Structure formats: structure tokens, C-alpha cells
Amino acid sequence: MSVVQGTDQGEVIETDVVIIGAGPVGLFAVFELGLLDIKAHLIDILDKPGGQCAELYPEKPIYDIPALPEVSGQGLTDRLLEQIKPFDPAFHFNERVDRLKRLEDGRYELETDAGTIFRAKVVVIAAGGGSFTPKRPPLKDIEKFEGKSVFYTVRRMEEFRDRDVLIVGGGDSALDWVLSLQPIAKSMTLMHRRDDFRAAPHSVQQMRALVGAEKMRLVIGQVSELKGNDGLLASATVKTKTGEETVVCDRLLPFFGLTMKLGPVADWGLNLHENLVPVDTEKFETSEGGIFAIGDINTYPGKLKLILSGFHEAALMARKAHSYIHPDKKLLFQYTTSSSSLQKKLGVRD
Amino acid sequence: MAKVTFKQPDGTETTVEAAAGVTVMEAAKINLMSGIEAECGGACACATCHVYIDANWVEKTGKPNEMEEDMLDFAFDVRETSRLSCQIKISDELDGLVVEVPEKQF
Ligand SMILES: Cc1cc2nc3c(=O)[nH]c(=O)nc-3n(C[C@H](O)[C@H](O)[C@H](O)COP(=O)(O)OP(=O)(O)OC[C@H]3O[C@@H](n4cnc5c(N)ncnc54)[C@H](O)[C@@H]3O)c2cc1C
Ligand code: FES
């Protein structure tokens, strides 16, 4: 798997196809495109491939993938990665596609939140249920503090230097940031609803050692109110087993997992129907020629939100994409079983 | 069949009939009960089917297992009586069950 690490701000990547979303359907699209000599870059806001399968249910079994009587979410992802390996797709993780526009030469330009720019003849939206976004605790007025005192990810550690930092959660993100930010923060408090942590045991041990050495605090409880003015947090009110407590803090990092939000897809001028992208069922193309939508993100009469349907959609999409990318080449119908040219591409024949 | 009553934060109560074997979350969804989102469809992967079990029923519904307890970390305002409704199967034993829907599911 070629993972492209944080490209330079403003760098331009030119490619045949950009696939937005590295869920199971985006991954299989690499395969179908690859068979037709089309190279793809994949972009996902997550830090890994597999979409819902890898993020929401990596260990749970799926029973309706043809010819795989039982496979876990992660197992399916791993097998797809193995299957697409011959086509060596380029992965861009931790980046969200924010902008998509048509260029004068007919190609499309995409820009991510990290500033990476892609130019491609074809765009495949395989955005599933939308981009994974951190859950926002339903606390009154929390949105007023966001971006100033409340953050859901750490983009710049400096933001937390010499601050009274409160981190809420019990998983790896919470514990990892407690350990990374504690040395530079003025004070560090970790809050969790119970004295039991899902995070890796060695991080929990390190955290407990810091608490033992009085270098940070651990509070068992739940935030019930935020106090402060003009977006600047002053303290959080905490419900504990025994009553209420005030934690002084001017930076808050809540880690309550991720939820799927349609996000920027809504801003690209495509027709939308109830937050889904309508497509035809011959090519799975959107209202814009050259932009396709496959998998959970699309809708058409009879649509089933199943991985299986997304795989079929990817195969048909690839044939139409071929006509945009190699307009002068005729497309033959071939079986992988018998076509020596397909087998060469798959690396199973020299 | 068993009866399940859902209490909303505003005090309204709705009682529905549910077949043994379905989950409390499914009973809520089939009856279009507000306040139960169940984004993940019952896979214990989202915590948006959070409910509080009425004090009189806590013993019968039992405690969450470890996976559910971990998932409850992602719910808001978790209490002693918190459960994920997709993890409670309805049975004759639970006929008359009363659950409270939280103010917010996140
Ligand atoms: C608990 C559970 C159990 C399931 N069980 C089954 C089952 O048994 N069988 C079955 O067929 N299906 C099942 N499903 C459904 C299945 O997981 C989905 O149909 C499938 O994941 C859809 O794949 P996808 O590639 O279209 O989208 P997703 O898996 O949703 O992936 C989309 C990806 O796109 C990314 N993305 C979106 N927008 C952007 C953007 N602007 N920039 C960057 N990245 C973006 C997202 O972060 C995400 O990673 C289940 C789902 C759940 C939640
Ligand atoms: S429905 Fe998602 S955890 Fe219960």
C-alpha cells in the first residue's frame, strides 16, 4: 500500500482518477479501474482504509459477501487491499476533500483541507455515509467555544502550551493526547465516566504514574456545563458520583468517537436527494459528466446499501470512466480467468 | 408478545407491543419512537440507542457486558441505569419493561 504522507501545501497531483473515500467500495473501484489501465489516487479523512467496515465494526462478522461465508469488517478490508495490490493505488489519509470544481480543460480539480490539490479527468465519489467527523458533546453553547477553546483534533500542539487542558474520554485518542500534551500544558486533567479505560494498557499505566506523581489529575465524572465568555473557556462543571465539581480549563478536547456526516459533498453543486447523490444505473454517473457516485453515497430506484451493490456499481462505473480517460481506445469485454492481458496486469502471468 | 413503555424526557409515555426475540431498539424503531437513533443498526457500534432502565427493571434487564460498557463511553450523560437498547432482547420475562429515553443521543 503506497501511503502518501502529508504532501506540501499547494502541491498539485495529476492523475486519471481521484476516488473520494477509501471504504470497501472505493477500494474495489481501484480494482475495476486498474483492469482497464486506469490509475487512481484515494483520499480519506480517516487514518486508514476500510471506511465503515474498519472504523465501526472491524471485528464483527459480515455474512453476505458472495463466496465469503463469513468475514470480519477488517478481514474484508485486508482482502480488498490484497486484491488491489497489483494496481498500487496511492492513498492520502487524514485529508478531507473540501472543494471540487471543473477546470476549463474539462478536468476536475479537488482540494483537501490540508491544501493538497488534485487534477483528474474523472472523480469517483465513494463517500459512503459521509466523512467521519468527531462527535460533538451536546453541551449548551459548545459551538461558541469550538476552534478557540474546544478542539476535536490536535492540529498544532502549540495551541495547548501553557494552557489548562481538560481531555475527556477513555480510548486511545484521549490517552495518547494526555501523554503528549501533559509535558507542555500548564495543567492537565483527564476526565472519564468510569475508572476503566479502553486505551492500550501501557498508556493507561503511564497516565496513572503521572497522576501518582501529581503531574496531572484524573477525574471520574462527566461534563455537564461549560463556562466562559466570547469563545474563551474558563471552566467546566463536572458531575461526579458524589456531586458537582468545577475544573478550571481553557482548552478542552472531547473524544467521544466519530459519526458520519455528509460534509463537503453537499457543496459541490451536484443534485442531491435526501443527502444522497442520484445516479443512473447504467454508468452510476451524477448530474455532472465525469463525476461518478458509487456505494452508500448514491441513490437510484431499488438501491440497497450493501457492500455487494457497491462492488457491482464500481464495475459499471469503470467502463464509462474508461471512455473519458482513453477516448481513443476500444473497450473489450474480457474474463480474468482467460484473458492473458488482464492476467499480466494482475501480475499472475509474465 | 411483551409490552415496553418508552418515557420521553418531556414526560410523555408510549407503550408498544413487541415480539419476544426482537431488541428494545428494534421495538422502538418499528414504532417510530423518537429519541432512539440507532445509527449502526444494532451492532453495538454507535451508542445512539442509549436508554435509562426504570429502577424497577434494572435487575431483570441485567448489566451491560464488557463490549456494551465500552460502547457506553460514547454516550452522553451515562448513569448507573444506562443500557444500549439494541443489546436488550425482549422476552416474556421483560413484559411491562419501562425505559427512559435520554434528552440527547449525541
Ligand atoms: C455495524 C454495521 C454493520 C454492517 N453490516 C453489513 C453487512 O453485513 N453487509 C453489507 O453488505 N453491508 C453492511 N454494512 C454496510 C456497509 O458497511 C456499507 O454499505 C459500506 O461500508 C459502504 O461502503 P462505501 O465504501 O460506500 O462507504 P464507507 O464505508 O462509508 O466509506 C466511505 C469513506 O469515505 C470517506 N469520506 C467521505 N467523505 C469524504 C471526504 N469529503 N473527504 C475524504 N473522505 C471522505 C469516509 O471517511 C469513509 O471512510 C454494515 C454497516 C454497519 C455500520
Ligand atoms: S444501535 Fe448502535 S449501538 Fe445500539
Range of the domain at A6: 2-132+259-345
Domain identity same for A219 and A248:
yes
Q: How far apart are CA A271 and CA A278, in angstroms?
A: 7
Whether A1 has a pLDDT exceeding 80, the answer reads no
* A260 close to B (CB below 8 A): yes
Q: Is residue A243 part of a domain?
A: yes
Whether A94 has a pLDDT exceeding 90, the answer reads yes
Q: Is residue A350 part of a domain?
A: no
Cβ–ligand 1 distance for A126 under 6 Å, the answer yes
Q: Which of A52, A53, A55, A57 to mutate to test the interface with B (most CBs of B within 10 A)?
A: A57
Q: How far is B73 from chain A (nearest CA, A)?
A: 7
pLDDT at res. B99: 97
Q: How far apart are CA A177 and CA A279, in angstroms?
A: 42
Reported as a pLDDT band with limits 50, 70 and 90, residue B105 is confident
Q: Is residue A293 part of a domain?
A: yes
Q: List, for residues A256-286, the tens digit of each pLDDT value.
A: 988 888 999 999 999 999 899 999 999 999 9
- CATH code at A271? 3.50.50.60
pLDDT at res. A183: 97
Whether A337 has a pLDDT exceeding 80, the answer reads yes
Rg of chain B, C-alpha, whole Å: 12
Q: List, for residues A152-194, the tens digit of each pLDDT value.
A: 999 899 999 999 999 999 999 999 999 999 999 999 999 999 9
pLDDT at res. A8: 63
Q: What is the mean pLDDT of residues A70-90?
A: 97
Domain identity same for A86 and A74:
yes
Q: Is residue A153 part of a domain?
A: yes
Q: What is the mean pLDDT of residues B95-106?
A: 93
A90 Ramachandran zone, left/alpha/beta (phi>0; psi -120 to 50): beta
pLDDT at res. B6: 97
pLDDT at res. A328: 92
Q: Is A299 helix (H, G, I), strand (E, B) or coil?
A: strand
Domain identity same for A14 and A26:
yes
Domain identity same for A205 and A300:
no
Q: Is residue A25 part of a domain?
A: yes
Cβ–ligand 1 distance for B40 under 6 Å, the answer yes
Reported as a pLDDT band with limits 50, 70 and 90, residue A9 is low
Domain identity same for A128 and A272:
yes
> What is the average pLDDT score of chain B?
94
ipTM score of complex: 0.90
The reported pTM is 0.86
Q: Which of A256, A289, A307 is the last residue of a domain?
A: A256
Domain identity same for A142 and A216:
yes
pLDDT at res. A4: 79
Q: How far apart are CA B102 and CA B106, in angstroms?
A: 10
Whether A6 has a pLDDT exceeding 80, the answer reads no
Domain identity same for A247 and A266:
no
Q: How far apart are CA A35 and CA A318, in angstroms?
A: 9
Q: Is residue A87 part of a domain?
A: yes
Whether A332 has a pLDDT exceeding 90, the answer reads no
Q: How far apart are CA A234 and CA A261, in angstroms?
A: 30
Residue with cell 457506553: B72
Domain identity same for A120 and A269:
yes
Whether A10 has a pLDDT exceeding 70, the answer reads no
Domain identity same for A85 and A197:
no
| Residue A348: all three cell numbers together | 499472475
Q: List, for residues A300-312, the tens digit of each pLDDT value.
A: 999 999 999 999 9
Whether B56 has a pLDDT exceeding 90, the answer reads yes
Q: Which of A234, A256, A278 is the last residue of a domain?
A: A256
pLDDT at res. A261: 86
pLDDT at res. B57: 96
Q: Is residue A31 part of a domain?
A: yes
By C-alpha distance, which of B28, B21, B26 is closest to B6? B28
Q: List, for residues A119-146, the tens digit of each pLDDT value.
A: 999 999 999 999 888 999 999 999 999 9
Reported as a pLDDT band with limits 50, 70 and 90, residue A111 is very high
| Residue A229 CB coordination number (10 Å) | 9
Domain identity same for A189 and A202:
yes
| Atom nearest to B40 CA in ligand 2 | 2
Dihedral sign, Cα of residue B86, residue B92, residue B95, residue B98: negative
Q: What is the mean pLDDT of residues A92-112?
A: 96
What distances in angstroms separate CA A233 from CA A141, A160, A237, B73, one per listed residue? 11, 13, 11, 24
pLDDT at res. A118: 97
Contact map slice: A 143-182 vs B, CB within 8 A: 169-171
Among B48, B68, B106, which residue has the most ligand 2 atoms within 8 Å of its CB, making it the best to mutate? B48
CA-nearest residue, atom 3 of ligand 2: B44
Domains of chain B with bracketed CATH: 2-105 (3.10.20.30)
Residue pair B70/B82 in contact by the 8 Å Cβ criterion: no
| Residue B95: all three cell numbers together | 413484559
Whether A5 has a pLDDT exceeding 90, the answer reads no
Q: Is residue A321 part of a domain?
A: yes
Domain identity same for A153 and A96:
no
Domain count, chain A: 2
Report percent pLDDT > 70 for chain A: 99
> What is the average pLDDT score of chain A?
94
Domain identity same for A237 and A329:
no
| Residue A349 CB coordination number (10 Å) | 11
Stated as kind and residue range, the H or E segment containing A120 is strand A117-125
Q: Which of A214, A241, A256 is the last residue of a domain?
A: A256
